[in-house]
Amino acid sequence: MQEKNARLFYTLMCLAGFFIILIPVGIANLVFGYMLGDSPCTSCWGQRESMIYIGSTALFIVRYGLKPRYISFLLIATAFALWQSFNHIAWHAIGDLDQGFSLLIFGMRSYVWAEVVFWCVVLFLGVMFAFAPRLSELEVHGAMREVGGAARVAFLISALIVGSNAFQAFVSTGIPPFVGQGNPVRFTLDPKYIIWSSQNWKKFFTDFSVLGVRDVKDPDYAFAPSSKLGISFTQKSDQSPFERIDYALKIKDEKVIKIDAPLNTLSEIYGEYIVSSKHHVYFLSLDSQSRDLFELDPYFSSTINPIIGIIPYMSHKYLLMGSNKTYLRFQKNAQANERLQYADFIKGANAFEGQGEGLGRGKFLTVRAKFHHILSIATDGKYIYTATVPNNKDKKTFVISAFLSSDLMLSREFTPTAHLKNGRSLGDLYVTGMSYYGGKLYALSKNYNVIAVIDPIKEQVVKTISFPETIKNARGIVVKKEGIEILSYQDGANLLFTLQ
């Protein structure tokens, strides 16, 4: 009985190892590779190699017996393989319908099937070891087990498939120092079209990060200045990227907003000023004295990074935006159900509502601005506009994203045209506040102390305005008939400047 149980265990293990090499690896190599000309990218090769490692280890168990080091290697190889396939899928998961890389198999790409295969390995190992005989029954007496003819055939076919893969890898990739390609040409044996490249080594050593393109440092906040962006801020408008400055503002008045926290945003909505610092929001009367406040719970549901702006939304509601483009729609209510609103507010749950019809959290999804933070938001009622800021990865891109207020979906994205100095870009700006007035967006740049007046219909900068160098850390802007107001946190105080 014991011998029968052991034989069954090793037979199943042999079949599992053989089939993982024969079916996914064999079909990919023989059918897709030689017959259809499919050539794996570096990630595809990695997943195929992991399947070979897993299948070969199963066959080693069949030949040499179940040993702890084999079990250990199976678990490690499968865990690494799952990460490989997840990483590969992640690059293409955000694409539209039918977009992707490589051939479709029953409606799914090959790298998605790799994920399925690796999860099947996890499931199979779990079942196998759950019903496995006692380890004493699986012991091997001698250096190796005796295997039958069927197992020997499986070993031989597996070896041929592995060898064929090695040949395909040699033809399409080459030998060291050549390395695989992210976008390989179709497989061929014609030397005229074979490409051996070592370019990925340079990219690996210069751009390597466990976060990849998402290794973007936090932007510069009033309450947390950043030194990791590689950006030097200056208040000299003559060094801005613009060819000319059309107007220069002058300071008419200066007030101190008596709030201890460094303020990061400024809005005027429904006759009140609204300012914020990190996750605290303050509603001020026109004489800048604090009236109402709340503290946001940033981690409930969709995490909201530090608050970068608040705008009016629909009928007497508000939309609060984080630098990661995650928002909260909320409203005031003196009779708010504190128990229900506890989810969104650490303080102020008895006076504000974030839960209810037309309220709640969500995310703005972008295309051109995907790997950039935002520090500004404005609205004309129909559309909501955001502007990107440069970061440690990209200091040239500047994108205005427009979202339809009615459904909060991306409507369009654009980089405004402008008259710029040679070799400069709008990415040189650092827009920390934005206001909509008279059909134009007023984008306030902390860097260079300039305001870019943008026509969102024509998608161009129609006017450039400078403001005095005494404003050292511009954070928010309100544009109205009476003039322009700028919030700046400097010298340990929150200052509200009125300019003309």
For the cut 70, the answer to whether the pLDDT of residue 287 exceeds it is no
For the segment 215-242, the average pLDDT, to the nearest whole number, is 93
Lowest mean pLDDT among 173-187, 223-237, 342-356: 173-187
For the segment 314-325, the average pLDDT, to the nearest whole number, is 94
For the cut 60, the answer to whether the pLDDT of residue 208 exceeds it is no
pLDDT at 166: 93
Q: 330-343: per-residue pLDDT in tens?
A: 999 999 999 999 99
C-alpha to C-alpha distance for 229 and 227, rounded to whole angstroms: 6
Of 168, 175, 71, nearest to 126 (Cα)? 71
Four-residue CA torsion sign, 60, 62, 65, 70 = positive
Number of H helices, E strands in the chain: 8, 25
Asked whether 288 and 245 are in contact (CB, 8 A), the reply is no
Is 101 or 343 the better-scoring residue by pLDDT? 343
pLDDT at 420: 97
For the segment 7-12, the average pLDDT, to the nearest whole number, is 86
Sheet of strand 440-445, all strands in order from the earlier edge strand to the far edge: 247-248, 460-466, 450-455, 440-445, 431-437
For the segment 401-417, the average pLDDT, to the nearest whole number, is 97
Q: 52-100: per-residue pLDDT in tens?
A: 999 999 999 989 988 889 989 999 999 999 999 988 887 777 767 667 7
Q: 421-460: per-residue pLDDT in tens?
A: 999 999 999 999 999 999 999 999 999 999 999 999 999 9
pLDDT at 113: 85
Four-residue CA torsion sign, 461, 466, 472, 476 = negative
Asked whether 15 and 73 are in contact (CB, 8 A), the reply is no
For the cut 60, the answer to whether the pLDDT of residue 48 exceeds it is yes
Q: 150-186: per-residue pLDDT in tens?
A: 999 999 999 999 999 999 999 988 888 888 787 888 8
DSSP class per residue in 174-198: -STT-B--SSPPPP-S-GGG---B-
- What percentage of the chain carries pLDDT values higher than 70? 94
pLDDT at 98: 66
pLDDT at 207: 58
pLDDT at 196: 87
C-alpha to C-alpha distance for 442 and 484, rounded to whole angstroms: 10
Asked whether 426 and 445 are in contact (CB, 8 A), the reply is no
Q: What is the pTM of this model?
A: 0.80
Is 188 or 241 the better-scoring residue by pLDDT? 241
pLDDT at 132: 81
C-alpha to C-alpha distance for 31 and 47, rounded to whole angstroms: 17
Mean of the per-residue pLDDT values of the chain? 90
Name the token pair of 201: 């080594």
Question: What length is written for the chain?
Answer: 500
Q: 408: left (phi > 0), else alpha (psi -120 to 50), else beta?
A: left
Q: 106-162: per-residue pLDDT in tens?
A: 777 888 888 999 999 999 989 988 888 877 777 777 677 888 889 999 999 999 999
* CA dihedral of residues 133, 137, 139, 145 (deg, nearest 10): -90
> What domains appear along the chain, each with residue ranges and CATH number?
2-208 (no CATH), 237-499 (2.40.128.630)
| C-alpha dist (Å) from residue 27 to 152, 155, 165 | 21, 17, 11
Asked whether 441 and 453 are in contact (CB, 8 A), the reply is yes
pLDDT band for position 218 (cuts 50, 70, 90): very high
For the cut 60, the answer to whether the pLDDT of residue 202 exceeds it is yes
Of 329, 327, 388, nearest to 356 (Cα)? 329
